Structures are given as structure tokens and as C-alpha cells.
Amino acid sequence: MSKRVYEKPLLRKLETGFLNKFGASPAYARRVREEIDGVPIATLVEQFGSPLYLFSERRLRARARRLREAFAQRYPNVELAWSYKTNYLRAICAVLHGEGALAEVVSAFEYEKARGLGVPGERIIFNGPLKRRAALERAVAEGARINVDHLDEVSDLEALAAERGGGKPIEIGIRVNMDTGIQPQWSRFGFNLDSGQALDAVKRIVAGGRLRIRGLHAHIGTFILAPEAYGQAAAKMARFIGEVREQCGVEIEDLDLGGGFPSRSRLKGTYLPPDMAIAPIDDYAEKVAEALYANLPAGVFPRLLLESGRAVVDEAGYLITTVWAAKRLPDGRRAYVLDAGVNNLFTSFWYKFQIEIDREVRGLNEAAMLNGPLCMNIDVLDEAAQLPPLERGTRLIFSPVGAYNVTQSMQFIEYRPAVVLVGSAGQVELIREAEDLTDIERRERLPERLRLDP
């Protein structure tokens, strides 16, 4: 029998039996998960290493279908557009394009990715506040829907139209923002509806004669817990469609409501668990459909576009990580060093993830701080996760982490890990290899004079 390491005894205030207004955490309550979509965690780590991102194709397709159905049951003309920034792994985009989604991109780089995957220009929605000249030129030539963010972009597009000649106007959409009764109000993008700025912009564009407005776009924020906010946005946009029709003769074909629907994640500071805090997607669809029928001009049914990101992919994504060390902090807290940190789960600054363990563990739960590998004080995945005593080698499974974490993951101190997709038939496919030094240094140049002598 190996000798046990001495651990200093510790006196702690007994905290059992108190009413816990944040929700009880019974001493033995824990979630054990030995597999994902039928594939054992142990096999996955053995094959692809730890940490490891994993996506479930089945869940991804189901979420996309559920979202579309919720709206299509209530409104005749609905299309999904996949928000690339939420997760632009090629395999993820391909699954969603296979489900019929258009591509929603916000940069030349994302545009290139969509085209590289074979998405035709006409099925790309090009948003964002900074679209460089070359990117605009390409998007115009390929027939993408460009949603204009500001008047400088109007000038850029007008100049392009003038150079193209032929008198054919460039078809565009305009982005608007508005008060929808929630805070913070996203007012940085597009033209404000409430102040009349958007109407002025439409008049200015119509007067210019080189652009034709076809679409109206808004994205009111992200992880919006109030379905009513979408009702307000849809109502205001629908009325605006009537207004520009009457006042400027503009016929809007596309009403794009952006994304922002919540996934079943838990925003830090929320008292209620996701199942109680988050309304079903049908409630959102109901508010939108009601508002459209009540406010669109009679007989007008523009195509309703939804650029949902996190509500589609978040719950399809998991991160498997491994306990590297167990510690006791000077204030008595339990802490663990994990092999994944904020470099892999950037959104842990805002979300408290569900954490499952890959095996049954004996012992009482204790609030534990979960630290990553970064040797930086900010590298904390959870300040107080209720966990039993964990040994080195125990796997923790974080979810839902499919939205924004892969795209925002950093090559900071550690390489980025592999990503696998578990296919609908249970097959496991590598969709991004784990990185090595060549990925990090490929673009670097070391001046000859600085080379160290061997």
C-alpha cells in the first residue's frame, strides 16, 4: 500500500442545515456521465486526448429543426441563417447548411469560409460594422445580401455602384436598432428606428438612386430571456415596412430578426435554473408571429430570417477535461487544477456551466474552485462547483459549451485541443486536430541575425 500524503488538518465552520436561497446542493448530489451519445468518455480521451471538445450532430440537427419548426408553424415564410461567429468549424457549418441554413457572416474571413464550403453568394448574409472595399466588391458581385450598418457604408456601396455602371442598383438591406424594453439596448449597430434616424437613412438611400433597399435587419442582443422583446422588435420593424412603403415606395422582401435566443445555459447571477429561467422557443415564435400579423401592411409577408447562433449550437457542445491536481487553498477552499481553462472556455466569465463527472465518487460534496492550466490568476472556470473529492485523472464534462467557445478559444500558453463530432449514427469523427508548434509559429519570421548558435 502506498504511503498517503500528509494533509494539514483544517477547521471549518459547519454550514449544513442552513436554508440556501440559491438552491440546495445535497451533499451527495452529483451528475455522473460515462458517455456522450453512446460513446464512452474514456474511449474518447484515449483516442483524442484531453481536453477535448465534442459536438453531437444529433443534438445540433434537432435544435436547428426545432427552431425552424417553432417559427414555421406560425408564419408562412421562414428561413434560418447560420451565424458563423458562434461556431465556424467547417463540419458544424456544413451540418447546418445541410439543414438548409443560409450563412450569416460578419467579416471577409467568415465570408471566405462560407464560399469555401460551397455556399453561393446569394445564400450569404453579410453583416457587421466593418466591411472593407474588397469584401464589399466581392459580396456585390456574388449577389450576397449586404446589411448596411452606417452611412459611410452607404457611400462605399454607392461608389461601387457608380463604378460598375449600367444603371443597375445594388440591392441591400439596412440594419436597425431600437428600444425593445430590455437592457442593455444594443444601439451601436445600424440606424435607430425610434429616433427617426432609420427613416432618414432610407430617404437618403432612395434619393441617392444607386442602391435598392430590399431587407430590414436587427439583432437586439444575445441570450435574451424576454420573448416580449422580440414581439416589440417585430412590431416596430413591421410598422417600419409599412412606413417606408408608403413614404418612399420601398418594398421590403426580407425581415431579418437576427439571433439572440437563449440556450439552456445559466448566466452567472441568475437564481433560477435554466429549465425555469428560459422560456421555450415557441413563446418567442408566438410573440413574433403575433406582432407581425398585427403590424405588417395587409397582404405583405416578407421572408422572416433568423440568425440564431447559441440557441442552435450551444447544447450540442461539450468540453471534456481532466483533473490534474487537487489543492487546498489557504482560506480552506478546495481547488482543482484542470487541463482546460478560460483559454478553452472563454464564456465561463459569464456562464456557470453544468459539470458532470465520468465516474461514481464517494464522499461529501464541497464547493471547489476549478482552475485551468494558464498560470494566470484569472484562469477560473468555476468559483464554487459542488463536487465530491476528486482524484487526479477524473474527467469533468462541461456543458453546454457549443456557442462561442471554439471560435473564441485562445492559443495562449497552451495549444488548442482537438474537436470531434459524434455523428447521428454514433460514429466519432475528428473535425479539428489538436494543434502543435507548427500551427503557432507558421506565420512567424525569425530574422537571421537573431538565430542562436547551435
- Give the interface with ligand PLP as residue ranges (CB under 6 A): 83, 86, 104, 127, 219, 222, 258-261, 307-311, 403
The x, y and z cell numbers of residue 410, run together, are 485562445
Query: By the 8 A CB rule, do 387 and 366 touch?
Result: yes
To the nearest whole angstrom, how small is the minimum distance from the Cβ of residue 345 to ligand PLP?
16
Nearer to ligand PLP, 108 or 311 (CB): 311
To the nearest whole angstrom, how small is the minimum distance from the Cβ of residue 82 to ligand PLP?
9
Query: By the 8 A CB rule, do 361 and 390 touch?
Result: yes
Residue 236 CA to residue 253 CA, distance in Å, equals 16
Nearer to ligand PLP, 308 or 405 (CB): 308
Nearer to ligand PLP, 191 or 261 (CB): 261
To the nearest whole angstrom, how small is the minimum distance from the Cβ of residue 173 to ligand PLP?
11
To the nearest whole angstrom, how small is the minimum distance from the Cβ of residue 139 to ligand PLP?
15
To the nearest whole angstrom, how small is the minimum distance from the Cβ of residue 32 to ligand PLP?
30
To the nearest whole angstrom, how small is the minimum distance from the Cβ of residue 403 to ligand PLP?
6
To the nearest whole angstrom, how small is the minimum distance from the Cβ of residue 261 to ligand PLP?
6
To the nearest whole angstrom, how small is the minimum distance from the Cβ of residue 317 to ligand PLP?
13
Nearer to ligand PLP, 281 or 422 (CB): 281
Nearer to ligand PLP, 37 or 256 (CB): 256
Nearer to ligand PLP, 53 or 261 (CB): 261
Identity of the residue numbered 245 = R
Nearer to ligand PLP, 305 or 370 (CB): 305
Nearer to ligand PLP, 63 or 74 (CB): 63
Residue 391 CA to residue 413 CA, distance in Å, equals 25
Instruction: Sort strands 102-105 and 124-126 into parallel, antiparallel or unpaired.
Output: parallel
Peptide bond into 51 cis (omega under 30): yes
